[in-house]
Structure 1
Amino acid sequence: MYDISFTAVAVLCVAAALAGWIDAVVGGGGLLQLPALLIGLPHLPPAYALGTNKAVSLVGTAAAASTYLRKAPVDVRLACRMGVVAALSSAGGAFFAAGVNSAVLRPLIMVLLLCVAAFVVLRPQFGQAPGGVVTRRRLLTAFAVAGVGIGFYDGLLGPGTGAFLVIALVALLNMDMVTASATTKVVNVCTNIGALSLFAWQGAVLWKLAVPMAVFNMSGGLVGAHMALKRGSGFVRIVLLTTVVGLVGKLAYDQWWS
């Protein structure tokens, strides 16, 4: 239906590989992959970029999740339950995506991200080691924030979802960075399924483009997951801060200079 040049496909595949690596380590690969799709497909409605992005991300995130589950101490039952809640919220966010005024949301998201960055910088031990008792109240709060709130945002916009999830799981459930990142992958798989289901139903997924991009995204995700497991929480923390700064810069550019 739509012709895409070989050069555009090649560039998008490279972007997908890098996004898969970022997503596997800490989340936020959409910061790179979604803008790449929007730029590479300038003549298509934005919904096609959003839908194709979800299809690609699902494969890469699933590959990273399988790697983490084999080697990281993940509470699979908790992650899946949170993922189901997030998937339903993500589908709801995707439903409203066409009518969202992103110019209104960007400043709020930037403030939240800057607060996250400041907190991580000022708390060097944040996410280095688990500790503390997880009460029922904290667990319910985690489901509300990570499952409902961040899940809805993932379907609505998407970029930065993984980073938000990691911070929420570390702060609310006392996880270390690696375990939080691993749990995030399981939740992200569910949110991607929720949003992708709606985009696919609307016919807004370019499957012929999504397949090669997914292969590259999966490769990047596998490499990123192995690096995170090998290098530990300190490495994940550095990548998280870098991703947050990059996301704030991208949102600021979209808000005031694009």
Structure 2
Amino acid sequence: MTEVLALDLLPPGLEPGTLLLVLLAGLAAGFVDAVVGGGGLVQLPALLLVPGLSPVQALATNKLGSILGTTTSAVTYHRRVRPDLPTTVRMAAVALVGSFAGASIAALLPAAVFKPVIVVALVGIGAFTLLRPSLGEVAALRHTGRRHHGVAAGIGAVIGFYDGILGPGTGSFLVFAMVSLLGYDFLGASARAKVVNCATNLGALLFFVPHGSVFWGLGLLLGAANMVGGYLGARTATSRGSRFIRVAFLVVVTALIARLGWDVWTEELRPRW
């Protein structure tokens, strides 16, 4: 009974200084996620610093904080960009199912696989963006009708599954899949990605909550920080446009590759006894 109640409040080893760091990461993550996606790449590593918090509990608590931030940025984008809802809703519905399926497998992953997978994903999307300088500057839709909706649903299923099983970088993957495969510009893709990201967070939470993996007190505090960051980020992105989003993405990805790559390298060199 004591263990269940602990999951409803805060991790027992959480110090005020660490909590402040996590909340600052949540604020930054909300802003980054609203602008370029991938806020979890800031937020999840911060949660993994909390003593006694397992990777699955960190992932679950991250989802609770993230869904509040992505909802705020999605509403802000919708008011200013007005993305087409039929495509977005279809993607979101399929992504929710994919995320639930991914979350059901996440508990089986060893903790050691998390950071290396994140680094590989970052390198891939960073290189893809850097090598395509004109990508996403202007919307030029590649498909119409059922084919358009079918490709959108496929993107939602694959990235939704990834979000459930791991999470960080989901918003970025959504944005760049919609830019490269569907032909949206960065701003339009970001607006749609927020709605889909809300669904993927919800799908994962539908699995994690019944299993008692969420620290509700920490998650709600994190969500409040995410909401502030998400609102500010969405307003900045809609006022500055696609070129700003691309530059911001490359800066964030480069910094995170360096940080997480160093973490993976030092863990590999650390003696195992």
The two structures share one fold, judged by TM-score above 0.5: yes
Question: How many residues are aligned here?
Answer: 256
The one of 136, 140, 160 equivalent to 1:131 is 140
The one of 15, 19, 22 equivalent to 1:9 is 19
Compared with structure 1, are the counterparts of its residues 98 and 20 closer, same or farther at alpha carbon in structure 2 (3 Å cutoff)?
A: same
Please report how far the alpha carbon of residue 133 of structure 1 lies from its aligned counterpart in structure 2 after TM superposition: 4.1
2:74 equivalent in structure 1: 65
1:219 aligns with 2:219: no
8 Å Cα contact 1:139/1:172 also seen in 2 = no
Compared with structure 1, are the counterparts of its residues 183 and 132 closer, same or farther at alpha carbon in structure 2 (3 Å cutoff)?
A: closer
8 Å Cα contact 1:170/1:176 also seen in 2 = yes
8 Å Cα contact 1:139/1:173 also seen in 2 = no
The normalised TM-score by structure 2 is 0.86
Please report how far the alpha carbon of residue 196 of structure 1 lies from its aligned counterpart in structure 2 after TM superposition: 1.0
2:109 equivalent in structure 1: 100
* Equivalent runs, 1:18-37 vs 2, <5 Å: 18-37=28-47
8 Å Cα contact 2:141/2:184 also seen in 1 = no
Compared with structure 1, are the counterparts of its residues 55 and 106 closer, same or farther at alpha carbon in structure 2 (3 Å cutoff)?
A: closer
2:93 equivalent in structure 1: 84
* Equivalent runs, 1:98-247 vs 2, <5 Å: 98-101=107-110, 110=119, 113-135=122-144, 136-137=146-147, 139-144=149-154, 146-247=155-256
Compared with structure 1, are the counterparts of its residues 140 and 108 closer, same or farther at alpha carbon in structure 2 (3 Å cutoff)?
A: farther
The unaligned stretches of length 5 or more in structure 2 are: 1-5, 268-273
8 Å Cα contact 1:31/1:159 also seen in 2 = yes
Compared with structure 1, are the counterparts of its residues 233 and 199 closer, same or farther at alpha carbon in structure 2 (3 Å cutoff)?
A: same
Q: Secondary structure at the match of 1:219?
A: helix
1:38 aligns with 2:55: no
One-letter identity of the residue aligned with 1:8: T
Q: Find the aligned partners of 1:34 and 1:107 in 2 and give their Cα distance.
A: 14
Q: Deviations over 1:122-173 (max 9, x none)?
A: 32221111114424445423321x2111111101111111111111000111
The one of 245, 252, 262 equivalent to 1:253 is 262
Compared with structure 1, are the counterparts of its residues 212 and 132 closer, same or farther at alpha carbon in structure 2 (3 Å cutoff)?
A: closer
Compared with structure 1, are the counterparts of its residues 204 and 109 closer, same or farther at alpha carbon in structure 2 (3 Å cutoff)?
A: closer
8 Å Cα contact 1:87/1:151 also seen in 2 = yes
One-letter identity of the residue aligned with 1:26: V
8 Å Cα contact 1:58/1:189 also seen in 2 = yes
8 Å Cα contact 1:34/1:50 also seen in 2 = yes
1:52 equivalent in structure 2: 61
One-letter identity of the residue aligned with 1:223: L
Please report how far the alpha carbon of residue 81 of structure 1 lies from its aligned counterpart in structure 2 after TM superposition: 1.2
The normalised TM-score by structure 1 is 0.91
8 Å Cα contact 1:163/1:244 also seen in 2 = no
Compared with structure 1, are the counterparts of its residues 21 and 201 closer, same or farther at alpha carbon in structure 2 (3 Å cutoff)?
A: same
Q: Find the aligned partners of 1:101 and 1:47 in 2 and give their Cα distance.
A: 10
Q: Find the aligned partners of 2:202 and 2:105 in 1 and give their Cα distance.
A: 16
Larger radius of gyration: 2
Q: Find the aligned partners of 1:35 and 1:103 in 2 and give their Cα distance.
A: 13
Q: Secondary structure at the match of 2:102?
A: helix
Moved more, 119-128 or 75-84: 119-128
Q: Find the aligned partners of 1:142 and 1:64 in 2 and give their Cα distance.
A: 21
Please report how far the alpha carbon of residue 216 of structure 1 lies from its aligned counterpart in structure 2 after TM superposition: 1.1
Compared with structure 1, are the counterparts of its residues 176 and 96 closer, same or farther at alpha carbon in structure 2 (3 Å cutoff)?
A: same
8 Å Cα contact 1:21/1:223 also seen in 2 = yes
Please report how far the alpha carbon of residue 102 of structure 1 lies from its aligned counterpart in structure 2 after TM superposition: 6.6
